Each structure stands twice: as C-alpha cells, then as structure tokens.
Amino acid sequence: MTTAAATELHTLRDFLRYAVSRFRAANLFFGHGSDNAWDEAVYLTLHTLHLPLDRLEPFLDARLLPDERCRLLDIYSRRCQDRLPAAYLTHEAWLGEDRFYVDERVIVPRSFIAELLDEQLAPWVDDPWAIEHALDLCTGSGCLAIKLALNFPNAQVDAVDLSPDALIVAERNIADYQLGERIHPVLSDAFTALTGKRYDLIISNPPYVDAEAVAALPPEYRHEPEMALGSGTDGLDFTRIILREAKKHLTEQGLLIVEIGHNRAALEAAFPTLPFTWLETAAGDEYVFMLQAADLPATI
C-alpha cells in the first residue's frame, strides 16, 4: 500500500472506496462469507476498527487516527497480497447469528446444513427434544456440532474429525459456547472409532470437491486444509463411505443428512436405487440430501 494512501485518505468512507478499488484490481475471489468486494471491504474495515458489524452509516464520515489508518492498510494489503480469506485475517466466521473462531487448521465454515439445523430440521424431526444422540462427521471447527447442540437441547453430540489440529479448533469453539458437557470431540477416520455407537441424527459436510475442480480452485481456497476439500475423481469418495457405513450407526428411526456440493447428478447416477430426499435451502434443493435409516440397505 502506498504512502499516499496513508496520508490522503481520511474518513472511513475514503478507506472503503480505496479497499474496493484494491480488491477489484487484485481480482480477489469472494466465497468465504461475502460474494463481492464491497461487502468484504465493509466487514474487514468494521472488524478492524472494532465497530458494530451491522452499523456502517453513522461512521462513514468519521476521520481515522493514524494508527487506525495503518491497521486498515495492513489488513487490505494482506488480503490482496497473500490472498487469505477474510475469515483467516479476522479469525472469525459466522453461520447465521453464531460466531466461530477459525484459522488455517480448519476450513472456513459455509454449510447449507446450518440453516436446516436452525429450523430444527422441521418437518423431518417432529420433536427436537427426542434427539438424544447426534453425530457431526467431519466437524472441522465444530460449528455444526455446536449448531446441533444449540438446536437439539437434549442431544449428546459426537464431533468427529480425522485432523487433530481441527479438533483443537473445535475444542476452542465448544468451550466458547460452554458446551463441553454435551459435545465430545472424537479423533476418527470416518466411523472407525465409533464401533457400537448409534445416533438418532447423523449430519456431515464432508470433502466433496472433484479432482478437476480442486485443480482449478482460486488461491483463497488453497489456504484451506486440502483434506477438507477434495474427495477423489468425482468428489464422492467420502460420501460413499458414509452411505456404506451409516446404517450401522443409526437408530431405527434415525436420519442421515449430508451436504454434497454440486454433485447431485453424479450421486444419483452412482446410487440410482437410493431414495434421496433433497432438502430445500436458501440456495435451492441441489446440495443437501436426507436418507432415513430404513432407506439404507445393509450393504452398498
């Protein structure tokens, strides 16, 4: 960033304009909480200045102190030069109204399952209090496990991940929400450490990016753990494991809910006899499927 920027920009409005120009000139990719340069500039600016994230207008013409200017120019520079997702710069990510700590040990949370949990999976779950045992497979930062516990108040939740580093982040978030007595981090390769355990509800936002898409990912995504993104040639390797093993871990009336990105057509072609129910989200009904325990054959 130039010396001119530090001396000629004065108000928050000035810095927002400057940030948008720099972000667009750098051809940044937006997909970790915002989808455009303006929203990202507003978020990074308000966060850096410790201002309310939902209140921009009163501060637009406020003049900034020298140290505030330096901090803003630094975070804009890191976003442009390092191509770090905003969440890694601020160490926070949001799912709905819930905030979570994140860093480069975990993928930036962005799951469509979150909004379904906030609706307590209605109408598929009649009584949220009846969910006593739940599993979040591939928990990452623990965000969906926490959503499970918040929305199903009687549930004991296992939060499973293969990455010890991810579980450290998950434990921090679990502690932040004071849910340590109800959410149990488990180091496991899929279901291998869960022998004999059964759940009323299993959710998973597993790796699902196919090999071609992984090769074409923008730089921002390459800061995320590779194991949390790619899943074989067609993106379905981990989903196949889930479909093969889930029945052994579901109660008789249990539900399985899995996010699979843009792989609906490939999944239905690979498993033509499974009666997938595609759940409606804000983005449509292409991304999250549900199966009841009875829908899953004993072997796949």
Q: How confident is the model at residue 70 (pLDDT cuts 50, 70, 90)?
A: very high
CA dihedral 82, 88, 90, 92 (to 10 degrees): 160
Element (H, E) at 56: none
User: Under 8 Å CB-to-CB from 86, ≥6 apart: which residues?
Assistant: 32, 33, 34, 40, 43, 44, 79
Q: What is the mean pLDDT of residues 200-222?
A: 91
Q: How confident is the model at residue 178 (pLDDT cuts 50, 70, 90)?
A: very high
**Candidate from 5-9, 116-120, 179-183, 275-279 with smallest mean pLDDT:** 5-9
In a domain, 191, yes or no: yes
How buried is 281 (Cβ within 10 angstroms: 0-12 exposed, 13-18 middle, 19+ buried)?
middle
Q: 223 with 261, same domain?
A: yes
CATH of the domain at 155: 3.40.50.150
Higher pLDDT: 297 or 88? It is: 88
CATH of the domain at 65: 1.10.8
For residue 2, pLDDT over 70 is answered with: no
At residue 3, the pLDDT reads: 75
Q: 101 with 85, same domain?
A: no
Both tokens of 11, joined, read 């108000």
Residue 288 gets which letter from DSSP? E
In a domain, 268, yes or no: yes
At residue 136, the pLDDT reads: 98
Rounded Cα gap, residues 203 and 221, in angstroms: 23
pTM: 0.93
At residue 182, the pLDDT reads: 98
For residue 1, pLDDT over 60 is answered with: no
Only one residue has tokens 């909004």, namely 115
Q: 63 with 103, same domain?
A: no
Q: 177 with 46, same domain?
A: no
Rounded Cα gap, residues 246 and 237, in angstroms: 14
Q: 20 with 84, same domain?
A: yes
Rounded Cα gap, residues 209 and 262, in angstroms: 8
For residue 91, pLDDT over 90 is answered with: yes
Q: 83 with 131, same domain?
A: no
Angle between helix 66-82 and 37-48 (nearest 10): 140
Domain boundary among 75, 90, 105: 90
The range of the structural domain enclosing residue 203 comes to: 97-295
Q: 115 with 23, same domain?
A: no
Domain boundary among 90, 109, 140: 90
In a domain, 114, yes or no: yes
Is residue 143 a contact partner of residue 201, using CB atoms and an 8 Å limit? no
In a domain, 289, yes or no: yes
Both tokens of 224, joined, read 């995320």
Q: 58 with 114, same domain?
A: no
**Candidate from 50-59, 90-99, 206-215, 235-244 with smallest mean pLDDT:** 206-215
Q: 68 with 182, same domain?
A: no
Q: How confident is the model at residue 211 (pLDDT cuts 50, 70, 90)?
A: confident
Measured in degrees and rounded to the nearest 5, phi and psi for residue 140 equal 60, -120
For residue 232, pLDDT over 70 is answered with: yes
Q: What is the mean pLDDT of residues 135-142?
A: 98
At residue 152, the pLDDT reads: 98
Q: What is the pLDDT of residues 20-65, one digit of tens each?
A: 999 999 999 998 888 999 999 999 999 999 999 999 999 999 999 9
Cβ atoms within 10 Å of 114's Cβ, excluding its own: 22
Measured in degrees and rounded to the nearest 5, phi and psi for residue 102 equal -140, 155
Q: What is the mean pLDDT of residues 77-94?
A: 96
At residue 128, the pLDDT reads: 97
In a domain, 80, yes or no: yes
At residue 7, the pLDDT reads: 84
Domain boundary among 58, 90, 122: 90
Q: 79 with 223, same domain?
A: no
Q: 72 with 155, same domain?
A: no
Instruction: Tally the domains of the chain.
Output: 2
Q: 68 with 106, same domain?
A: no
In a domain, 300, yes or no: no
Q: What is the pLDDT of residues 266-294, one digit of tens each?
A: 999 999 999 999 999 988 888 999 999 99
Q: What is the mean pLDDT of residues 118-136?
A: 97
